């Protein structure tokens, strides 16, 4: 099946720990995105990548890091520098510069 796979679906972290969320796609899309969603709010852009080995900061990049070593993969690391990391994280892809986004099923991170 073509699509976007995010893992894990649920993740618990102790304060001070880094965690990495996985996003893999087999749609052959160039652009990949990470969004954060908090209850009752819209999506906020963390990082995006429009080509392998290149990525750009979004509106709320502080405390997060990414890599794009392969077209299929765009992992997000939530570092200990992110002060309020509990949220729902969504990965998305897009074929070109404009047009619709395709989303994974999300990863819910809870800090204990």
Partner 1 sequence: SQQGEEDPQALSIQEGENATMNCSYKTSINNLQWYRQNSGRGLVHLILIRSNEREKHSGRLRVTLDTSKKSSSLLITASRAADTASYFCATDDMDSNYQLIWGAGTKLIIKP
By the 8 A CB rule, do 5 and 25 touch? Answer: yes
Residue closer to partner 1 by CB (options 52, 101) is: 101
Whose CA is closest to 17, among 86, 71, 68?
Answer: 86
Q: Tell me the helices (H) and strands (E) count for the chain, helix number first.
A: 0, 11
Query: Where along the sequence are the contacts to partner 1 (CB under 8 A)?
Result: 4, 6, 40-45, 48, 50, 56, 58-59, 88, 90, 92, 97-106, 108
Quote the least distance from Cβ 16 to partner 1, whole Å. Answer: 27
CB nearer to partner 1: give 31 or 52: 31
- Per-residue tokens: 75: 């992992």
Q: Phi/psi of residue 93, each to 5°?
A: -130, 160
Q: How far is the CB of 91 from partner 1 (least distance, A)?
A: 8
CB 17 to partner 1: min, Å: 24
* Residue among 22 and 103 whose Cβ is closer to partner 1: 103
- Go through the chain and tell me how many residues it has: 112
């Amino acid at each position: 099946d073509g699509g976007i796979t995010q893992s894990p679906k649920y993740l618990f972290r102790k304060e001070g720990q880094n965690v990495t969320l996985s996003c893999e796609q087999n749609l052959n899309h160039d652009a990949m995105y990470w969004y954060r969603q908090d209850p009752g709010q819209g999506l906020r852009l963390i990082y995006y990548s429009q080509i392998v080995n290149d990525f750009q900061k979004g509106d709320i990049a502080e405390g997060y890091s990414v890599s794009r070593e392969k077209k299929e993969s765009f992992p997000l690391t939530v570092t200990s520098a992110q002060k309020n990391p509990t949220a729902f994280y969504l990965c998305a892809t897009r074929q070109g510069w404009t047009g619709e986004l395709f989303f994974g099923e999300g990863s819910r991170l809870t800090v204990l």
